[in-house]
Amino acid sequence: MKKKILIVSLCAIITIVWTSFAFANFKNSEKVIKEKIDLSETTTIEESRVKIQTQNKVKKNYTQQVGDYLDTLNVIDKENDLVNVELYQNNVMSREELVISNCDMILTINNSNGDLLSYINQKGTYEKNTLNETQIKEMAFKIFEKLEKTDGYELIHLEQFDEEIYVVKFAKKYGKYINIGELIGFSFAPQTGEIVTLSRNYIPFANNEIKLTEEQVKMIANNYLEKSVGTEMKIYLNIVMPNVGLKPILPDTRVYKEAKETRLAYVCEFNNEARTKIYIDCTTGEAIGMSRVLGGEF
């Protein structure tokens, strides 16, 4: 059985960004449940994570909490003595992250409050799945229900990765809109209930009011379309993550360096190869971010 290679987007969340969860050869996966939510694009931002050498900057001793997380994540070998503890400054999310790792797993928690941010199981192979779709879904919920701070979350995505692993996403919904800032995603082996990777966000929704019409937004967005290789656009409402994606392209544009909350915005999607999306705040009319397919021209 070949060893799995999984790529996990930690701390998502800037494309949501953001914290999407990318998996190798995902295009060959089979659909089980797939609500319309596009996490495939990225902004032009690169996450900046700087290692902090001073160990006394660790806010508190999270030994008990880490142990509880390992129980929740069903980590069998918790007695491995070869544990590495490192502290990082995540400049994009403006937080310190404590990374605990050994040969079996990598666990990342928020150094300020102990929130679980991500988990990677370093095991290479898993048992082949023999469960049916109903049993797989039940297993996904069984794992999800062990996690903390999950009130109001709904299943939005369940999809097969390969014969051993499935990928699932839960998020908070506000009406018909999914808040990608409050997203929990994990891959798991249904046959054994093992979590392969996990990542989550804790960014609340501002629940801002719609004050602009689509026609007003179109006039604003035309200023950006004129600078693009695109010629047309479609406009729709969605909850988005404010980001600095416009800064490298349009230096004079006001940008958001730190997103404390997600906002409802008009997404103006251009017809260029990069599928450029400009986010226009539906309350203020500001351009609060963008996303596009990597490598495509603005």
| 119-152 confidence digits (pLDDT tens) | 999 988 999 999 999 999 999 999 999 998 999 9
Is the distance from CB of 243 to CB of 189 less than 8 angstroms? Answer: no
Is the distance from CB of 125 to CB of 140 less than 8 angstroms? Answer: no
Average pLDDT over all residues of the chain? 80
Q: For residue 164, what is the DSSP state?
A: S
Residue 30 pLDDT > 90: no
Domain identity same for 69 and 185: yes
Parent domain of 280: 214-291
Which of 169, 200, 231 is a domain's end point?
200
For residues 187 and 179, what is the distance between their CA atoms, to the nearest angstrom? Answer: 20
Domain identity same for 74 and 100: yes
Domain identity same for 98 and 192: yes
Q: For the beta carbon of residue 164, count every other beta carbon within 10 angstroms.
A: 21
Q: What is the pLDDT of residue 162?
A: 95
Which of 200, 232, 260 is a domain's end point?
200
- Percent of the chain that is helix, strand, coil (3-state, to 5): 15, 35, 50
- Torsion of Cα atoms, 188 then 193 then 198 then 201, to 10°: 110
Is the distance from CB of 200 to CB of 171 less than 8 angstroms? Answer: no
For the chain, what is the domain count?
2
Q: What is the pLDDT of residue 167?
A: 98
Domain identity same for 56 and 189: yes
Domain identity same for 31 and 70: yes
Q: Which of 128, 111, 109 is nearest to 119 (CA)?
A: 109
Residue 12 counted as domain residue: no
| 233-278 confidence digits (pLDDT tens) | 999 999 999 887 777 776 666 655 556 899 999 999 999 999 999 9
Q: Which of 142, 217, 171, 145 is nearest to 36 (CA)?
A: 171
Is the distance from CB of 19 to CB of 43 less than 8 angstroms? Answer: no
Domain identity same for 32 and 169: yes
Residue 194 counted as domain residue: yes
pTM of structure? 0.77
Could you give the percent of the chain with pLDDT greater than 90? 51
Residue 18 counted as domain residue: no
Distances (CA, A) of 56 to 74, 81, 272, 276: 30, 21, 50, 44
Domain identity same for 92 and 238: no
89 DSSP β-pair partners: 50, 96
Question: What is the residue whose two structure tokens read 């797993």?
Answer: 105
| 182-238 confidence digits (pLDDT tens) | 999 999 999 999 999 999 999 999 999 999 999 999 999 999 999 899 999 999 999
What mean pLDDT do residues 164-192 have?
A: 96
Residue 81 counted as domain residue: yes
For residues 57 and 59, what is the distance between their CA atoms, to the nearest angstrom? Answer: 6
Domain identity same for 83 and 195: yes
Domain identity same for 171 and 258: no
Domain identity same for 233 and 122: no
Is the distance from CB of 30 to CB of 159 less than 8 angstroms? Answer: yes
Distances (CA, A) of 268 to 99, 130, 168: 38, 43, 28
Is the distance from CB of 262 to CB of 15 less than 8 angstroms? Answer: no
Is the distance from CB of 217 to CB of 280 less than 8 angstroms? Answer: yes
Which of 168, 200, 232 is a domain's end point?
200
Domain identity same for 250 and 167: no
Residue 180 pLDDT > 50: yes
